[in-house]
Structure 1
Amino acid sequence: MKKRMIMLGLVLHLSAQAADYFPPAGQWAATSPASLKVNEQRLADAVAYAIASENKASKDQALVQATTFGAKEPYDQIIGPMSVRAPANGLIIYQGKLIARWGEVDSVDMTHSITKTFLTTVTGLAWQQGLIRDLQDKVGPSMPQGVDLYQGEHNSQITWDHLLRQTSDWQGTLWGKPDWADRPEGQTPADWPNRPLRTPGSHYKYNDVRINLLALSTLYVWRKPLPTVLNEQIMRPIGASSTWRWYGYDNSWIELDGQRIQSVSGGGHWGGGLFINAWDLARFGYLFLRDGQWQGKQLVSKAWIQLARTGGNANPEYGFANWFLNPGRKALPNAPETAVTFQGAGRNIIYIDQENDLLMVARWIGNGDELNQLVGKVLAALPE
């Protein structure tokens, strides 16, 4: 009994040490897997699997866009920057320490829809600071005079919560892209513009036009560029590099308070979005692994995180964009039910597992069951 109590005390001590560690800018403490009782061979096998499971699609993201979305969507013209990505790369952080890395983790690449999680975080900061009073408030009254984004019987019903959960069913055209043209519904192209209208909040639909609407609406609330807000309130405090960039489109410029400002996009569907390296993605993920606090300062409120990681009525596996949840372990059978992933095309992944004090960044892994298999292999390497 005494030995078990000593061991329990040691585990609690190590857990407290891990929770107290925050990587300084430009570095991350590494340790040998064996020092944390991680099975080195199993971990090496997991890394080898991640490398071998690289997405087989072209590294040229413009070409991928043309052969996926462009093959089945109208209005598919690229209107923002795109890039040629690095090979598969990633990081594994356990109990706060780096225990594995692979590939070109310094490469600044598109992160596609993980950008949405950065966007909803910036919207959350506006909520924390009272710029948005209540997420159940309708968005239209927050817009300046003359901005007609939420006019009419249908669009006027939309709340901030609807935008965050991708249940707004907003109808319109933004930056030259009609809402119906993103993943169009209907049997034939003639049906696409005449999609059924659903009551806002009742139907989940992954839609980049509406996410870009959230970005523009949040810009009007902040009254300054969203990359500036993100940099000042999140990226600099967590020690991120200066290499990341957040882009919009060639035509997504507005005049706001006498200044010309670009409204950023929530992903790379038509180009743009966040271009970032694996290290900075890991810092962003680590912020949420540590419940939104960094070195004793609560950057993102726990109340916001609780809302973000709560599934909606229309889709219990999706919180705020892009918080992918694991109820019933359906999405990731190998992961705990409480695990969360931030996901983007390509496939870009931030895996957050508080039960195991585990953070993983996996970039350019296959689109099938590869993520679930990788998670299973990494967890199998951890001590029981």
Structure 2
Amino acid sequence: MGGYMIFKTRVLLLSIILLFLNHSPGQAADFPGKNWQQYAVAEEAGFSAKKLKLAKQDFEQSEAAGVLVIHNGRVLVSWGETTRRFRCASIRKSFMSALYGVYVGKEKINLNATLADLKIDDVQTLTAQEKQAKVIDLLTARSGIYHPAAHSTRGMEKNLPQRGSHKPGTFWYYNNWDFNTLATIFEQETEKGVFDAFKEDVADQIQMEDFALRFTHYRLEDKSKHPAYLFRMTARDMARFGLLFLNKGRWNGKQIIPEKWVVESTKPFSTELGRFSERGSYGYLWWVSELKGQRMYFASGSGGQRICVLPDANLVFVHVVNSYDNNNVRHGNIMNLLSLILEAKEGAPKAKPSLVDHKPPLRRQPKSVKVKSEILNKYLGSYRHRFLGKLEIGAGEKSLIMTTSIGKFELFPLDENKFFPEDIETPVHFQISEEESQRNTAVSILNENRKVKRVVFYY
């Protein structure tokens, strides 16, 4: 009997230890399946509904399009457009970090290989010093290579240091050349396309709801051999990616990204960030900081796209902005909103909170009509927009496809000359040109708030 009691005591102790391990900081208590679960009552998650309402007011007064907050693997907050795909912008770089984690773990990529070893070059030939940059230098934005790069902002290229001014590994500079060239190296070493690998190794594994390869795009420019790799994604899919990192690369018991990589890539590697100093420090394609005394790392895209992971709070915060309309929310304002949400935490969550299926409002697309192919064919061709550059209109199965510098968008016909572009959602009109100089041009028509209310293509 005494031996039996000792056995029971050991089992009880083991159960308690496992309970604490399963609920330790950085380990979410739950995962979504095909769909998310949501707290029925904020207080049962340990949050004040009244304080969250104040945070929502802050959100509604900004140009943000959507916010999604995940706590213990469940939806705590869902505001605005969380099922509409927006441009991820530079969040793509943290996606690349995840892919490197997978394939470094498979020993397909050597972080200490130099560009000379890998035979990497560019339109402007690399110098001997530049070719000594290692893969790890590109991952940490410390290559010392200051070349023009695809999809770079004016600020990036205007402020480029002089070539040769810094040896590889010695100086941090946020440069799309490093980030784009990582894709070239990845595809060369793994023999897989970036987007195919992301779908297979990340998106499918964590059951992203809205991701498909047609929402990705390579942007190649004459200035460089190395294209930018662009994503459009919904907030609810970004939240899954954040939750994967919160759980140190594990998803429902399966290790998707090596835990060692998640830990190393989200450590502060560079702390002298110049004009980006408000963001704290930089890891392997992740920004690393703290907020309200809590450690935080985040993926960041221009305009206000964010995936923030706070391990100690067991929380993922996703913030999206409609950058198609050139809306913008400053970093400080985003952090203020997140602070308000953190301040709403008042206690521990209930052991068995009431949960409901998360059912966000779905995008309501106007009803499409059938238009004869001979009419659609009149609109095919290349158009020039003053700000957007070249726009290509091609044929879809029952629609048109608009190819832009940021991706392809299906145009659903609403009548013979009016179309609804997926994701962008700003109406597109086709109109016969009145003079030759107008033909094959596209013009944005603005409303009283200087926002685009429609785009007219003159054929």
Give the deviation of 1:312 after TM superposition. 2.0
Give the deviation of 1:303 after TM superposition. 1.1
The runs of 5 or more residues in structure 1 that have no matched partner are 1-7, 55-86, 186-191, 255-261, 267-272
More relative contact order, 1 or 2 (CA 8 Å, 6+ apart) = 1
Cα distance in 1 for partners of 2:304, 2:77 equals 19
Code of the aligned partner of 1:153: A
Equivalent pair of 2:45/2:76 in contact (CA under 8 Å): no
Structure 1 length as normaliser, TM-score? 0.73
Secondary structure at 2:167 match in 1: coil
**Is 1:183 paired with 2:153?**
no
Code of the aligned partner of 1:125: V
Code of the aligned partner of 1:49: D
Structure 2 partner of 1:72 = none
**Is 1:148 paired with 2:94?**
no
Structure 1 partner of 2:281 = 317
Query: Superposition pairs for residues 315-354 of structure 1, below 5 Å?
Result: 315=272, 317-321=281-285, 323-326=286-289, 329=290, 332=291, 334-336=292-294, 338-354=295-311
Query: Superposition pairs for residues 1-384 of structure 1, below 5 Å?
Result: 15=23, 19-54=28-63, 88-133=65-110, 135-143=111-119, 148-149=121-122, 151-173=126-148, 182-185=156-159, 194-195=162-163, 197-244=165-212, 245-250=215-220, 265-266=228-229, 273-313=230-270, 315=272, 317-321=281-285, 323-326=286-289, 329=290, 332=291, 334-336=292-294, 338-364=295-321, 366-384=329-347
Give the deviation of 1:247 after TM superposition. 1.2
User: Measured at CA, do residues 335 and 369 of structure 1 come closer, stay the same or move farther in structure 2, by a change above 3 Å?
Assistant: farther
Equivalent pair of 2:129/2:164 in contact (CA under 8 Å): no
User: Measured at CA, do residues 383 and 274 of structure 1 come closer, stay the same or move farther in structure 2, by a change above 3 Å?
Assistant: same
Report the more deviating stretch, 192-201 or 31-40: 192-201
Code of the aligned partner of 2:187: L
Equivalent pair of 2:244/2:251 in contact (CA under 8 Å): yes
For each residue in 1:307-360, what CA deviation from the matched residue of structure 2 results, as whole angstroms up to 9, or x when unmatched?
211222464710011x1111xx4xx4x351x21111111101111111111111
Give the deviation of 1:107 after TM superposition. 0.7
Give the deviation of 1:238 after TM superposition. 0.2
For each residue in 1:33-73, what CA deviation from the matched residue of structure 2 results, as whole angstroms up to 9, or x when unmatched?
0222310010111122122122xxxxxxxxxxxxxxxxxxx
Code of the aligned partner of 2:115: V
Give the deviation of 1:14 after TM superposition. 9.2
Report the more deviating stretch, 223-232 or 307-316: 307-316
Give the deviation of 1:152 after TM superposition. 3.3
Cα distance in 2 for partners of 1:46, 1:193 equals 41
Code of the aligned partner of 2:33: P
Equivalent pair of 2:130/2:167 in contact (CA under 8 Å): no
User: Measured at CA, do residues 207 and 151 of structure 1 come closer, stay the same or move farther in structure 2, by a change above 3 Å?
Assistant: closer
User: Measured at CA, do residues 21 and 113 of structure 1 come closer, stay the same or move farther in structure 2, by a change above 3 Å?
Assistant: same
Give the deviation of 1:139 after TM superposition. 3.4
RMSD of aligned Cα (Å): 3.1
Seq. identity, %: 21
Equivalent pair of 1:292/1:305 in contact (CA under 8 Å): yes
In terms of fraction of residues, the more strand-rich structure is 2
